[in-house]
Structure 1
Amino acid sequence: MSTDESKHPFPPFTLETAKQKVKAAQHMWNSQDPSKICLGYTPDSVWRNRDSFLQGREAIIQFLSAKWAREKQYKLRKELFAFTDNKIAVQFRYEYYNEAESQWYRCYGLEDWTFAPNGQMEKRQMSGNDVKIREEARWFADGTTEAEWDVVPISAAHW
């Protein structure tokens, strides 16, 4: 995905363009490339991620780099929850392996996003809860693709 594609579509959102924006974000985050991911955010983007507050692309890069140093085999699924002209809310699930604990986790959560007119996100707020899972309980098994994860909506997923 090029830098320009990471900004598309632009607000005001329709149902279709909001869904496209959510799937583009899912794809970018699953790349686990903080230097590319940060280009979808304004240079002074403000984040709240659980109990962390940060601002700007360099802080985003540092945050995501540290996150994926801890969260191995990260796989994320996002789904549109609601939208308005320049805001999108998503529900998400992701799984990761914590090597230090020899433990799999699944995180359940919600995000709300606010976009600048150029399509970059200027505000991201995330709330999530991590739950320990057994390896055999993973939804995002090794070898499956994002397209396969998208077949079952999050709202219908088994808890």
Structure 2
Amino acid sequence: MAHIVPPFTAATALEKVKFAQNAWNTMNPEIIAKAYTTDCIWRNRDQFIRGQEEIKTFLTTKYAKEKGYRLKKELFAFQDNKIAVQFFYEYHDENGQWYRAYGLEDWTFQVDGEEKGKMRKRMSSINDVKISEDERWFANNVDVETVTISEKHL
């Protein structure tokens, strides 16, 4: 992900978003954390996280609770070293209750130095909604890229 560097074009911003989507869908904190600067700042719901080690700890806890995690990210806007995305993901808890999470993320990337192209700030606003098995978009290992999300789905 670091090889895609600002300033972004429509093509490179979209590539960055899809790279992030694919990394998060691995559910591997080690892989995901490599995309962020060593001192990256996150806001995730009501949590504030700083640095790769805290990111790894957060993601390890997240994936232990959010089973069956599947995510789709869509490019919302971009400019210079910033990208905004909207995202949708589904998961179930330990009791089998499914949820869909919706949200927006504001990303800022490092523009110089050894960590150029890595994300140095991630601000995320997320809402979770209970859904039934029949309401799932990302069921049966569907490729998330084949799911078209429109206003009728929201």
Would you say same fold, with TM above 0.5? yes
Alignment of 1:34 onto 2:29: yes
AA in 1 matched with 2:49:
L
User: Offset at 1:140?
Assistant: 0.1
Contact 2:89 2:100 in 1 (8 A): yes
User: TM-score by structure 2 length?
Assistant: 0.93
Match of 1:104 among 90, 98, 106: 98
d(CA) in 1 for partners of 2:10, 2:149 = 17
Tell me the equivalent position of 2:109: 115
AA in 1 matched with 2:137:
W
Match of 1:78 among 62, 69, 73: 73
User: Offset at 1:20?
Assistant: 0.3
Tell me the equivalent position of 1:12: 7
Tell me the equivalent position of 2:142: 144
Q: 1:72 to 1:152 in 2, by over 3 A?
A: closer
Structure 1 gap ranges (5+):
1-5
Between the two proteins, the alignment pairs up a number of residues equal to 150
Contact 1:79 1:153 in 2 (8 A): no
Tell me the equivalent position of 2:126: 128
d(CA) in 2 for partners of 1:89, 1:31 = 21
Report sequence identity in percent: 57
Deviations 1:26-69 (A, max 9, x none): 00000011011101000000000010001000000000000000
Structure 2 gap ranges (5+):
none
Match of 2:51 among 51, 56, 73: 56
Contact 1:95 1:107 in 2 (8 A): yes
Deviations 1:96-117 (A, max 9, x none): 0101x43000001000000002
Q: 1:76 to 1:138 in 2, by over 3 A?
A: same
User: TM-score by structure 1 length?
Assistant: 0.90
CA RMSD of aligned residues (A): 1.2
Deviations 1:93-145 (A, max 9, x none): 0000101x430000010000000021100000000100000011100012212
User: Offset at 1:157?
Assistant: 5.8
Secondary structure at the residue paired with 1:24? helix
Q: 1:13 to 1:157 in 2, by over 3 A?
A: farther
d(CA) in 2 for partners of 1:132, 1:53 = 25
